[in-house]
Amino acid sequence: MSGILYINDMDVAELGLKPLDLSDWWGAPRVTRASASPYALAGAIPSVSGSYEPRRLTLALALESSSLAGRRSDVDDLHRQFQGLLEVRLGDDSTRVGYAVMEGMAAPQRHPGFFGNTWPQARVGPELVFYDVCKYDREPSLVPLSTTPFTVPMGTAPTAGIYTVYGSTSPVTLRARAYGGELLSDATMTFAALQGSSEAISVDMANHALTFYTDGAASSSVGISTKLTSGWFFGLDPADAPAVEVTAGSGELRYRRRWLS
Amino acid sequence: MSLITPTYAPRAQTSRRSRLPFHWNAQNGLVTTALTPQTGTFSRASTAPLATGRDGRLVGPRAQGIPAWEAWDHDGDGAFQTAGLNMDLARTNLVTTQDISAWTDSGSPTTTAVPSPYAGVSAYLIDDNDGATAEYKIRTVAFTGDAVKAIAIVMKKGTAAASTIVLRDTSAGADRLIATITWSGTDPGTPAVPTGTYLGKRELWNDFWLVLLQTASVTAANTNQLWLYATSSTGADTGSTYYALPTAANAPFLSNVLTASQAAVKPDLRFTFPFPVQALSFYLRFTEIGQIFAASTGILASICLNGTSTTDPRLSIYRASGGAGYEVSWDPGTETTATLAALPALHQSTELLVTLDTSGVATIYQSLAEAATTSAAASAQSLPATTTYFGNSQADARLVIGDIGASGTAPGALSLHACKVDWGVKTMAQMRVAF
């Protein structure tokens, strides 16, 4: 039987924790937009672009220790397990994960000193902050790039991914098309000619990083302007139902679908 | 004076970090970087075979030095969701053109190009409509060395009820492979192979299938021809079959197809492992891609070897020639081994765990498709002094995937999903979720 809540692949039950309340795990992130009041019209028009506020989830977990000493050690284990960037997922929704850091933990337990008995059980409330508000496919996706447009399966939020282009001796353009086939003008990157199978370009769209492979050796020291002759890094928006292609050679896109809830 | 202000918080960690001594998995963004700080080195001197992408279409061939990521559909839902790093053996495709329409005709089959699972090469619909003689396409394959050879091909049902593939030695007038696929819906089922061996199959995009076959021993100096029938080899039968990416290799098995004349070489993945020998648990999760068919000794994976030689102490996991199952070798100076009783099936999700306890006993555990764990224990060989490193050198100690320490000396084949090390003796269930 699968567990309820997993932190970095570990069922929190293994830490002596029983989930009681998962806050608004299923909720969507809050969007902040600017707006403008158009002349001579009632109402306000929201800005096309907006930004998400970090999601904050306060979990309610029962700590089921068997002794006071055990409670201390269990709480320490909890702090160790909740350090760093956490991959969080639910047992009944195990294909999607979110990434969070713990930024506080309430522990409103009864203290034995007040009640005259030992009470090792406690309730703890780790506050998880998802600075990346979206959830991701737990497993990455891999799709081929060729001169035939490939419709990229998307989630409900934009995604970036890492493209690798190889096998073209002529200048190659990496680009995306919208549903219906029209080229997306801001989703195109043209590179200088590759030297056949011995050279490749890897494009990390999220981090704006290019890596060049020549005879199998990776190098990031070549300036972007040396190889990138036009265009700029781009992401894919599910609103476009995008398809990606290269104008010569072949390649691949590695990415994770992103979801708003 | 306080050296650290009371408001000093632990460092914000912006990437996922495992607290294990070593942890790598393909799921973590398809990168060869570990989730632990060890330095990883990936290299491959040439291209890789084609590999399966998200919807069963084929990706590649990767350029030199580009890791060959692939995806597996272990739950059979049609979505290829389980990420792996293809660590296949060196293979060269002896089929020099995959334009099947240009192959020699026997009879007068019609040939029509259609999209295949790989965008770079068409599939071809071969049609036999005369109802009198069996019609097929012919291509000569120049093998080197008399031995069992591998054939891999992508196929899809056309209108034929059955489809036959033959490797014919026309010099000797003998068949080295006869495989007849009787279609069950779009599924090739288990082909009848009176000559040669059927190794396995895998579903790809749009009802295409990858079919893996093995010939009987060929005589390389003779003329060996690959015959692709439109239907069965019975002359009165009519119908059609789709074929794509025919591949033949001087090797006993292929894990995937290659492009025409493509020469793919084995990659090399290794990590620094600067820890002394001690009780530990070493966990691997991978998809079996053919090591079980290896005719000669093959090392699947090994841990903590000197990166340039095979200096002791070393702990290795491998499948030896003819071995009943995977094997652990623990060699602090004198080797002791233990072998599991059963091998995985082709394309099966496989977990191996090797534990080394404080008494110097190495035990290997196996779980197939997350089923019950089986095990085998080797006799004890005492642990060396606590200052001794694997490979007898802290600077050179390596965790090597798919090989022993010296690159290429005993390569193995696997599609790697995860590799972890933890201190002490842990169970399969613990290592499965350890982070």
In 3D space, the residue among B426, B406, B291, B288 whose CA is nearest the CA of residue B356 turns out to be B426
Which residue out of B54, B72, B287, B351 would a mutagenesis test of the A interface target, given it has the greatest number of A Cβ atoms within 10 Å? Answer: B54
Residue A4 has a pLDDT of 87
Range 184-223 of B in CB contact (< 8 A) with A: none
Question: Is residue B347 less than 8 Å (CB to CB) from chain A?
Answer: no
Q: Are B379 and B250 in contact (CB under 8 A)?
A: no
Distance of CA B25 to the CA centre of its chain: 16
Reported confidence tier of residue A22, pLDDT bands at 50, 70, 90: confident
Contact: A164, B81; criterion CB under 8 Å: no
Q: Which residues of B fall within a CB distance of 8 Å from A164?
A: 62-63, 66
Contact: A99, B45; criterion CB under 8 Å: no
Type and span of the H or E element at A68: helix A68-81
Q: What distance in Å separates the CA atoms of residue B213 and residue B346, rounded to the nearest whole number?
A: 12
Q: What distance in Å separates the CA atoms of residue B211 and residue B201, rounded to the nearest whole number?
A: 4
Name the closest residue on chain A to residue B429, using Cα atoms.
A10
For tokens 């091998």, the residue is: B343
Global pTM reads 0.89
| Helix, coil or strand: residue B251 | coil
Range 53-112 of B in CB contact (< 8 A) with A: 53-55, 57-66, 69-71, 80-83
Is residue A219 exposed (0-12), middle (13-18) or buried (19+ Cβ within 10 Å)?
exposed
Contact: A83, B433; criterion CB under 8 Å: no
In 3D space, the residue among B384, B322, B324, B316 whose CA is nearest the CA of residue B354 turns out to be B316
Q: What distance in Å separates the CA atoms of residue A131 and residue A128, rounded to the nearest whole number?
A: 9
For tokens 């995604």, the residue is: A159
Type and span of the H or E element at A75: helix A68-81
Q: Are A81 and A11 in contact (CB under 8 A)?
A: no
Name the closest residue on chain B to residue A85, using Cα atoms.
B16
Contact: A85, B54; criterion CB under 8 Å: no
Residue with the bigger pLDDT between B411 and A59: it is A59
User: Which residues lie across from A210 on neighbouring strands?
Assistant: A203
User: Which residues lie across from B364 on neighbouring strands?
Assistant: B354, B376
| Helix, coil or strand: residue B44 | coil
Name the closest residue on chain A to residue B71, using Cα atoms.
A142
What tokens were used for A217? 């050796």
Question: Is residue B264 less than 8 Å (CB to CB) from chain A?
Answer: no
Reported confidence tier of residue A230, pLDDT bands at 50, 70, 90: very high
Nearest chain B Cα distance for residue A176, angstroms: 17
Is residue B278 exposed (0-12), middle (13-18) or buried (19+ Cβ within 10 Å)?
middle
Q: Are B380 and B359 in contact (CB under 8 A)?
A: yes
Type and span of the H or E element at B248: strand B239-249
Q: Which residues of A fall within a CB distance of 8 Å from B44?
A: 216
In 3D space, the residue among A199, A185, A260 whose CA is nearest the CA of residue A230 turns out to be A185
Distance of CA B185 to the CA centre of its chain: 28
Nearest chain A Cα distance for residue B433, angstroms: 5
Contact: A141, B59; criterion CB under 8 Å: no
Q: What distance in Å separates the CA atoms of residue B22 and residue B19, rounded to the nearest whole number?
A: 8
The DSSP secondary-structure symbol of B171 reads T
The DSSP secondary-structure symbol of B277 reads S
Contact: A200, B66; criterion CB under 8 Å: yes
Name the closest residue on chain A to residue B54, using Cα atoms.
A142
What strands lie across the sheet with B268-272, from one edge to the other?
A: B40-43, B268-272, B397-401, B298-306, B314-319, B327-331, B336-339
Residue A110 has a pLDDT of 63
Residue B9 has a pLDDT of 66
Residue B122 has a pLDDT of 96
Q: Are B303 and B273 in contact (CB under 8 A)?
A: yes
Residues in chain B: 435
Name the closest residue on chain A to residue B68, using Cα atoms.
A252
In 3D space, the residue among B156, B152, B255, B153 whose CA is nearest the CA of residue B205 turns out to be B156
Q: What distance in Å separates the CA atoms of residue B191 and residue B195, rounded to the nearest whole number?
A: 11
Q: Is the pLDDT of residue A88 over 90?
A: yes
Residue A111 has a pLDDT of 61
Residue B113 has a pLDDT of 97
Distance of CA A235 to the CA centre of its chain: 13
Q: What distance in Å separates the CA atoms of residue B61 and residue B275, rounded to the nearest whole number?
A: 37
Contact: B15, A213; criterion CB under 8 Å: no
Q: Which residues of B fall within a CB distance of 8 Å from A138?
A: 27
Buried b (16+ CB within 10 A) or exposed e, A2-15: ebbbbbbbbbbeeb
In 3D space, the residue among B311, B412, B150, B62 whose CA is nearest the CA of residue A144 turns out to be B62
Direct distance between the N- and C-terminal alpha carbons of chain B, in angstroms, rounded to an integer:
38
Nearest chain B Cα distance for residue A214, angstroms: 8
Nearest chain B Cα distance for residue A60, angstroms: 23
Q: What distance in Å separates the CA atoms of residue A67 and residue A63, rounded to the nearest whole number?
A: 11
Q: What distance in Å separates the CA atoms of residue B375 and residue B387, rounded to the nearest whole number?
A: 30
Residue A109 has a pLDDT of 62
Inter-CA distances, B174 with A43, A55, B178, B304, Å: 85, 70, 10, 49
Contact: A11, B433; criterion CB under 8 Å: yes
Which residue out of A129, A142, A195 would a mutagenesis test of the B interface target, given it has the greatest number of B Cβ atoms within 10 Å? Answer: A142
Say whether the peptide bond before residue A29 is cis (omega within 30 degrees of 0).
Answer: no
The DSSP secondary-structure symbol of B145 reads S
Q: What distance in Å separates the CA atoms of residue B201 and residue B191, rounded to the nearest whole number?
A: 10
Residue B3 has a pLDDT of 65
What strands lie across the sheet with B123-128, from one edge to the other?
A: B110-114, B123-128, B239-249, B150-157, B209-214, B197-203
Q: What distance in Å separates the CA atoms of residue A244 and residue A168, rounded to the nearest whole number?
A: 16
Work out how many CB contacts closer than 8 A connect A with B. Answer: 125
Contact: A162, B27; criterion CB under 8 Å: no
Per-residue pLDDT of chain B (435 residues; tens, 9 = 90+): 556 666 776 666 667 778 899 999 998 767 788 888 887 888 888 888 999 998 899 998 898 888 999 999 988 888 888 999 998 888 999 999 999 999 999 999 999 999 999 998 999 999 999 989 999 999 999 999 999 999 999 999 999 999 999 999 999 999 999 999 999 999 999 999 999 999 999 999 999 999 999 999 999 999 999 999 999 999 899 999 999 999 999 998 999 999 999 999 888 888 888 888 899 999 999 999 988 887 654 555 555 555 556 678 888 888 877 788 998 988 888 889 999 999 999 999 999 999 999 999 999 999 999 999 999 998 888 888 778 888 778 887 888 887 765 555 667 788 999 999 999 999 999 999 888
Q: Are B131 and B238 in contact (CB under 8 A)?
A: yes
Characterise A162 by phi-psi region: left (phi > 0), alpha (psi -120 to 50), beta (else).
beta
Give the Cβ contact number of residue B367 at 10 Å: 20
